[in-house]
Structure formats: C-alpha cells, structure tokens
Amino acid sequence: MHTSIRFLKEGWDVVGLDNFNDYYAVSLKRDRAVEIARNANEIGRLFILYEADLNSNIWDKLQSYDFDAIIHLAAQAGVRYSIEKPRAYLESNILGFQAVLEFVVKTRQIRFLYASSSSVYGKNSAQPFSESAPCDSPESYYASTKRANELMAKSYFHTEGIASIGLRFFTVYGPWGRPDMAPILFAKAAIKGGKIQVFNHGIQKRDFTYIDDIVEGIIRLTFSNNIPKRALIFNIGAGNPTRLMDFIEIIEKHSGKVIKKEFVKAQKGDVMETYADVTQLKSLIDYAPSTKLEYGIEVFIKWYKSYF
C-alpha cells in the first residue's frame, strides 16, 4: 500500500494485484486498497486493482500494459504460520513467484524487484547480517521459501538474462501494518488493556525498520542508474538492533499505558537477533534507513488510535 501511494505521488500510474486472502483481517486489506485509490484520485493518477491470485490467468490481462517496473511484494507471510500451513507457502511463495518470473520473461521489464526477508539468515550467520553470507540454514519453512526465491531469480538471470533485485527486509513496522505482528499486538494490549506474550523472555533483538524507509529504498533502487543488471540482493534494515523490551517500553510511552506481560520461551523458527549490514545499499545508492524508533512508533500509535 505504502509503495503504491509513493509511486503515485512520484507521478506514476499503478496497477495492483491482490487476492485478499483471509490470513488476517480482509477488511484491513480492503481499507488499504481504498486508501491507495483515495490518494490516486487526489493526485490525479491512475490506480487499477485486480483481485486475483498469482497462480491464475491474470497474467494474460496484464500483458496489455506497458510496465516500466514490476515490484513483487505479494507473499504468504508469517514465520509461525508456516509451521502450521506449509502448503500455503509453497503455493504462494514458490509457485506464485514462478508465475511472476514467467511474466517478467515475457515482458522484459526495465526493473524487477521482489521481497525477500531477513529470516533467510537463520541462526548461523555472523552479525551483522551481510548479503554475502551463505544462508543455507533457514529456521522456518517461510525462510526457506524466501531463500528459494533468491535462488530462482538468480537462475533466471543465468538462463533468461533477467536482472532482478531481491530485498531482505528487517522487521518492518508502521501504520497499516499486519495485525499478526508484534507492533499492533502490543499497541492493542496497551490501549485496550490486554496481555501480551513476550517471547524468549524479551531478550531477543530485532532490527526494526520503519515502513517509509523501506519504500524509499524501493524507489531509489527502481530508478537508480547505478544498478548493475544482474541478480542482486540487498539488505534494507535500520542497522541498529533493538531489544524487544525496549521496543515495548517505547510503545508504552507513546500509548500512555503499561502493558501486561507474560514472559515465555522462544518459539520454533525464531532467531535471537537480527542486525542488518546496509553497507552495500549505502555504497550503491547512498542510502540507509534513518527513521528513529521513537518517531516511528509515535506515528504508528497515532495511526492505530485513529484506525481502530
């Protein structure tokens, strides 16, 4: 949603594809689409939305457009859910990604970007996580599908000459975020008086990255003339891991409430710490995420109160 709105504001028309599945509240997903359309109307740009699955014949219709870039951010998300429903990840993240690759081959786009994940690093990679790490020990099936995407994209460069940019996102947060992720769960508990489970007793760390920083990276990588035409992978993270308890304390500060906590052991598939090395991104496009956690959470809490 944020990426679409940013492209509209930069003067581009946007074609969106979403199957609106029910992994989490469909109403939130549809409200995001409404928000994109509202921005498009205000700006005077074109936004066309197709409600269809990646593994459908929608690609026949999309061939009629003259795209300048494809930004593939669709996936079945969630580390823990991948343990319960692995087939959903196979269908969306593997077969769906294959469908996107085949479309890119047919249309020969100028830019093809797709979402990977910091979860591909697993527990064995050295800190901070560098794109040169082997990433051969994923901790979850979700992470395995994201690593598979990177390898699929690389093979398509060798066999089809298709350049690609894979983006390893680090714990994205901000307005309109997923309700199954910690920021909204924590905000809900603070404002409505519920209790949260604090995994691994709160000692784990995450490289929380504000959504606007993610989008800025996508925009710059899409239009930069400095990008080699190869199968590339970049970290997009704050480069500053934060203790989970510190993150919770900032939410408490901006919500004005103390959250009830239940400290529990780490869940399967979780890693102790994520810490992005963003040297490569900075050297190539002179960019690194810069939004301070205090500011990002303040904006997020204001949105949460206004939306919910």
Sign of CA dihedral 217, 219, 224, 229: positive
CA angle 9, 33, 208 (to 5 degrees): 75
Provide the 8-state DSSP code for 109.
-
Distances (CA, A) of 83 to 80, 183, 257, 270: 6, 22, 33, 12
Pair of tokens at residue 37: 């359309």
Measured in residues, the chain has a length of 308
Q: How far is residue 230's CA from residue 260's CA, in Å, rounded to a whole number?
A: 49
Residue tagged 């995450």 (tokens): 206
Bridge partners of residue 231, in order along the sequence: 164
Active site residue 81: no
Catalytic pick among 142, 275, 287, 304:
142
Terminal CA-CA length for the chain: 18
How many CA atoms lie within 13 Å of 149's alpha carbon, on the beta-carbon side?
A: 37
Cis peptide preceding 128, ω within 30 of 0 = yes
* Torsion, CA 145, CA 150, CA 152, CA 155, rounded to 10: -160
Which contiguous run of DSSP H or E holds residue 266? none
Active site residues: 142
